[in-house]
Structure 1
């Protein structure tokens, strides 16, 4: 089980190491947008939208990595003081009852819209914008799949803890 969890982790490890560069690109691009607009009087809808696209990619594709490194939002009232087995039970419950079913549901219900958007290569949000709304919509299933993969990896680790094979 540990090897499978490690293999699943590699998917989000690689994705996280790749999309982290989106943050730097976003900052540089936003700087360029502001510089072009206020210094040179030039504005571009496509350039502004490219920041939106990078932001969407960073958060949607980086969510699995965030779960991998345990930096997601957690309501931590009793969890911090709990024993490892109690934490493992809480986490396993969360993955089985909340995370995986909600991501599977979102994937199921968004799939027709995403397929429709990709099949017609849905165009720009605004006139003069990036003609790739289909690309933004395709981030939804990618988000779901990456979170399901990481949830399964984390669940396997919780099962190992509950079986007493890890500290």
Structure 2
């Protein structure tokens, strides 16, 4: 949660350095890396808190078991998607570690650390999606996991 303040600090420093000093070549990429980390590491947490945004045209009018049945289907699709993302993330991370991949920018930072964080964030969200799937499945069957 506090990572957003670090990102704001980096962007403030970037603005000040461009206005009063020599512009920094690293600030934009660091802000991008922080935003990706904030977004991906917060995904599973927001799912755990049930704080993500829903399109609520019909959903709120349904019975709880109907909602759970629909959520089971959407969780299966999400798990499939996150599984593909995790596979690609692991492959990309191994590549970055094996070949010492760097960015194509003037700063040229190593890509392995951010790819590790991204893959870990996808893994956490996948684990939370699996937990939510089983909770919804139990609710759809009329059972409770509480």
TM class by shorter chain equals: 0.7 to 0.9
TM-score, normalisation: structure 2: 0.86
**Shift in Å, 1:93:** 1.1
Q: How does 1:90-109 map to 2 (within 5 A)?
A: 90-96=70-76, 98-109=77-88
Residues 71-90 of structure 1: matches in 2 within 5 Å?
A: 71-90=51-70
The answer as to whether partners of 2:10 and 2:31 remain within 8 angstroms in 1 is yes
Contact 2:37 2:118 in 1 (8 A): no
Contact 1:122/1:134 (<8 A) preserved: yes
TM-score, normalised to structure 1's length?
A: 0.77
User: What 5-or-longer segments of structure 2 have no aligned partner?
Assistant: none
Which whole-Å CA distance do the structure 2 matches of 1:125 and 1:62 have between them? 27
Contact 2:96 2:111 in 1 (8 A): yes
How has the CA–CA distance of structure 1 residues 159 and 150 changed in structure 2, closer, same or farther, with 3 Å as cutoff? same
> Per-residue displacement from partner, 1:68-92 (whole Å, max 9, x unpaired)?
1223232322111111111111111
Establish whether residue 36 from structure 1 lines up as the match of residue 14 from structure 2: no
Give the SS at the match of 2:54.
Answer: coil
Which has the higher relative contact order, 1 or 2, with Cα contacts under 8 A spaced 6 or more apart? 1
Q: Is the 8 A contact 2:36 2:118 kept in 1?
A: no
Listed one character per residue, the Cα deviations across residues 99-122 of structure 1 (whole Å, up to 9, x for unaligned) are: 111111222234322211122231
Structure with more helix by fraction: 1
Aligned residue number for residue 123 of structure 1: 102
